[in-house]
Amino acid sequence: MSLASMRALWAAPALSIVLATLAACGGGGGSSSPAIDSTPASTAAAGYWVRAFGFVDASNYTLRYYYSDNVVDSAGQGTYYDVREATAGGKPAVVLYDTTLFVTAQGWQPSLNGATPNTSTSTSSTTSTYNYNSGYVGQSTREDTDVSGQSIASVVALTQNLGTNTLSTTVGVSAAGLQGTMPAGAKLRKISNADTSTPIGYRVSDGSVGNGVTTLTGMVSTFPVPAAGTTITTSNSVSLGGLHGSAGCGTTVCTQERLRAAFGANNGVTYYLCDVNTTTSVQSNCLVAGTGSFAYGTAVDGATPILTFAGLPAATSVQTFTRVFVQTGGKVYFGYQDKPDSSTQTRLNKVAFEALAAALGIAAPTIPDHPSAVGGIWSVTYAGGDTGNCAAMAVNAAGHVIGTCTSTGVGGSFIVSGSAAANGGLSVGSTSSDASFSGSLAGAAGSGTWSRPSASATGTWTATKQ
């Protein structure tokens, strides 16, 4: 999924609220938008700015916000968190973040989750630099406006105006139907972001080259440029992704849509563009689109072999990423590097969103004064009157807990949600039964008890931070 596709995902209302970031094998790259929330001020209270609100109705919506305790260090650097939450059928729902691994000087890092710190540093009263999601670096300019006393309808309309914004903050909300005015402290932030650099990443779920390829040199030798007149297939060329990502061109058959490559002498590459049926994924009519070159290199961790391309066809200018092959663990993965992007958006602060939430009849998120000390992804097992596990229970920086658990006995598969207090005290319950878990998390471990009165079942649980 491309960066643009990811933005669209979180700007659109979701009828199926259990969201995941998906990418077809050999498809595109993509990450969450590398746009910062603010340049925190050390004298300000904790708060958030709404990045994306997708509204279907009061029982079904998604919310993405950038939360910060607004504490800055001596260098003017503050920390913020990309928090994503959802409600489906009136109950908390699981939201899956991207599964990309990004390479940094310290090694490969998992993509962000709701407890991953991102930083921004003020360079003036209206500009700042950001470092988001392990290497999306860029600059922001912002303009804050006090909108207290203005109608909620007019303020929301400003967040939806695509004449001045490249992205809408509030999708699915009918601004004209909103009643009421914004309270004191309500603000809008018009923010423009421009990437200066982006990281290289890959997803295991995107798959590897296969065909017995275990190294980059092996890949080059496996896919030599075929003789003239040879039909280009998945067996004699490698995929460099679609021009329009997994979304396709907007029609069932996209002509000259999928980019492929084969390798020649002296680091030469021949590029091909193929027609693709987006319903069947069958490609055909692969034609030479140009020639270029490839280069072996090493990722910024100083250890991982990578292969990059140059001289790509002009048609690839619409791609939001470029292919990078990554050799690791005895496989060659379909990696990518997003192209630097820019965007402009108008966002609601905490006070303004609380007013909108009240007008829509939904609950705005509660946030702590400081990020949760136990934020992250936890593995949980439980035993006693029933046994089972929660493979990935997420605790975001705001202390909100969500996860899917699977019981071997009376529970089946169920979602748990709740909260983790500042001291690590955990309190969660099942969204489909009367089961509940309580106890505490600390450091990299946790434990406690659980009960399900309707089944006369009780027991204990333990947790390990991933």
Compute the distance between CA of residue 437 and CA of residue 452 in angstroms, rounded to an integer.
Answer: 9
Query: For residue 44, what pLDDT is reported?
Result: 79
Q: What is the pLDDT of residue 438?
A: 98
3-state SS string over 300-357?
CCCCCEEEEEECCCHHHHHCCEEEEEEEECCEEEEEEEECCCEEEEEEEEHHHHHHHH
Q: What's the CA gap between 80 and 82, in Å, rounded?
A: 7
Cα–Cα dist 64/83, whole Å: 6
User: What b/e string do you get for 154-169 counting C-beta neighbours within 10 Å, with b at 16 or more?
Assistant: ebbbbbbeeeebebbb
| Residues 380/401, Cβ–Cβ less than 8 Å | no
Overall size of the chain counted in residues: 466
Residue-by-residue pLDDT tens, the chain, 466 positions: 333 333 333 333 333 334 433 233 333 455 444 444 444 444 579 999 999 999 999 999 999 999 999 999 988 899 999 999 999 999 999 998 999 999 999 999 999 999 999 999 999 989 999 999 999 999 999 999 999 999 999 999 999 999 999 999 999 999 999 999 999 999 999 999 999 999 999 999 999 998 899 999 999 999 999 999 999 999 999 999 999 987 788 899 999 999 999 999 999 999 999 999 988 989 999 999 999 999 999 999 999 999 999 999 999 999 999 999 999 999 999 999 999 999 999 999 999 999 999 999 999 999 999 999 999 999 999 999 999 999 999 999 999 999 999 999 876 899 999 999 999 999 999 999 999 999 999 999 999 999 999 999 999 999 999 9
Q: Indicate the SS3 state at residue 40.
A: coil
- Round to the nearest angstrom and report the end-to-end CA distance of the chain: 25
For every residue of 78-126, DSSP letters joined together read EEEEEEEEEEETTEEE-BPPP--EEEETTEEEEPP-TT-EEEEEESSSS
Please give the pLDDT value at position 29.
55
Domains of the chain as residue ranges with CATH = 31-100+116-198+341-360 (no CATH), 202-337 (no CATH), 376-465 (2.40.128.120)
